Amino acid sequence: MGDVDTLQAALDARFGQGRARREVPLASLSTFRVGGPADLFFEPATGQELVDSVKIARAHGVPLHVLGGGSNVLIHDTGLRGLVVRPRGGTVTPIGDTLVRVDAAVTINGLVRHTIARGLAGLEAWAGTPGTVGGAVYGNAHWQRQNIGDLVESVRLVSRDGALLQVPADRMEFAYDTSRLKRTGEIVVWAAFRVTPGASPDALRATARASLAFRKRTQPLDTPSAGCIFMNPDPVHDRVPDGMPCSAGALVDRAGLKGTAIGGAQVSATHANFIVNTGHATATDVAALVDRCRVAVADQFGVQLHEEIVRLGF
Ligand SMILES: Cc1cc2nc3c(=O)[nH]c(=O)nc-3n(C[C@H](O)[C@H](O)[C@H](O)COP(=O)(O)OP(=O)(O)OC[C@H]3O[C@@H](n4cnc5c(N)ncnc54)[C@H](O)[C@@H]3O)c2cc1C
């Protein structure tokens, strides 16, 4: 593994002293509020800074991790070795009437607010989805049987060796909870979303409010979590027995695990596919509880649950 000191010197030379920082705690940058520090941490403010930081990390042979809003990750208690890049800022730019180009660091909520205010329909139901465009494209975020990839026209990516490429949606390998980025490690610089102009902002706002209200009713939003822990099983591929729900939360619930706790991690009483941090959880507590849920569902129902959250540093 390359040397973090020489990497820092190279980042300082390119971006100026103080931009890349050592031993930065990551727990507060993850919605779970768990995890240790990054050896080295850098927040690119532009696409070019993102590309250059990827190239510099590559040239120094140092591991590179990408963090968006931290709303779907479980970061190890010992933190992350090498460089963590967390794109920040960014803008939403119209391209003609029916596309918006959105930088990776823009939050989904920011994007929703932007399109609603301009009467651009398509993204309003995604109101309340935590995280950034980069993270949403990576995991093809879903909401009520829709995948965000269905709204994507193309994505600008940087490969792990620093090459830029533009990929149309049909080559993004979007499927339930996944995209080609899980295979390639490519990083989102921006994504272009299709929108329909001419909608009434009030009507779009009403849809957004309905999504927010539904989330408030069904999710434990007042306690730190990373959203759903497991993907919903596929009835055929995952051999869900007849009469069993194809819902990971319902299976965890039927296994009797609602409310079960390990250390400060607890299976939410509101939504059994959420694990919440009741105050002093560690990543080790969360990981142990995830494993307990997985084993219980496999033992009782023969269904193998797969994780939706991304473990970093494990
Ligand atoms: C209360 C709550 C409710 C949620 N509801 C939903 C929901 O309805 N639907 C849903 O799908 N998810 C939901 N989630 C999970 C989460 O919001 C989404 O997965 C979100 O898209 C993650 O984005 P992020 O920016 O936070 O990604 P992070 O958590 O920061 O990262 C997730 C993964 O994406 C990668 N990544 C981040 N940025 C980039 C980038 N620029 N390029 C390449 N890879 C990148 C990271 O390396 C990591 O592997 C919920 C989470 C919470 C806490």
Return the CA Rg of the chain: 20
Instruction: Indicate the residue among 217, 250, 276 that finishes a domain.
Output: 217
At a CB cut-off of 8 Å and minimum separation 6, what does 53 contact?
A: 11, 14, 15, 42, 44, 83, 85
Distance of CA 268 to the CA centre of its chain: 20
Instruction: Indicate the residue among 195, 217, 239 that finishes a domain.
Output: 217
Exposed e or buried b for every residue in 50-62, given b needs 16+ CB within 10 A?
bbbbbbbbeebeb
* Same-domain status, 173 and 188: yes
Question: Cα(136) to centroid of ligand 1, in Å?
Answer: 5
Provide the number of structural domains found in the chain: 3
Place of tokens 């610089």: 189
Strand partners, 121: 196
pLDDT in tens, the chain (314 residues): 568 999 999 999 999 999 999 999 999 999 999 999 999 999 999 999 999 999 999 999 999 999 999 999 999 999 999 999 999 999 999 999 999 999 999 999 999 999 999 999 999 999 999 999 999 999 999 998 899 999 999 999 999 999 999 999 999 999 999 999 999 999 999 999 999 999 999 999 999 999 999 999 999 999 999 999 999 999 888 888 888 889 999 999 999 999 999 999 999 999 999 999 999 999 999 999 999 999 999 999 999 999 999 999 99
* Same-domain status, 255 and 233: yes
Residue nearest to atom 52 of ligand 1 (CA): 227
* Same-domain status, 105 and 186: yes
* Same-domain status, 167 and 230: no
CB 63 within 8 A of CB 83: yes
Instruction: Indicate the residue among 32, 61, 85 that finishes a domain.
Output: 85
Place of tokens 């607010």: 113
Distance CA 259, CA 191 (A): 39
Residue nearest to atom 27 of ligand 1 (CA): 135
Q: Which of 53, 86, 138 to mutate to test the pocket of ligand 1 (most atoms within 8 A of CB)?
A: 138
- Six-digit token string for 174: 């979007």
Residues with beta carbon inside 6 Å of ligand 1? 31, 66-73, 87, 104, 129-132, 134-136, 138-139, 141-143, 181, 187-188, 219, 221, 225-227, 310
- Six-digit token string for 66: 């990408």
Question: Cα(71) to centroid of ligand 1, in Å?
Answer: 5
* Same-domain status, 117 and 193: yes
User: CATH no. for residue 185?
Assistant: 3.30.465.10
* Same-domain status, 73 and 189: no
Question: Cα(17) to centroid of ligand 1, in Å?
Answer: 30
Atom of ligand 1 nearest to the CA of 108: 21
- Between vectors from CA 61 to CA 57 and to CA 63, what angle results, nearest 5°? 70
pTM passes above 0.95 = yes
* Listed residue (110, 114, 79) closest to 94, CA to CA: 114
- Its domain, for residue 225, covers 220-312
At a CB cut-off of 8 Å and minimum separation 6, what does 243 contact?
A: none
| Amino acid letter, residue 269 | A
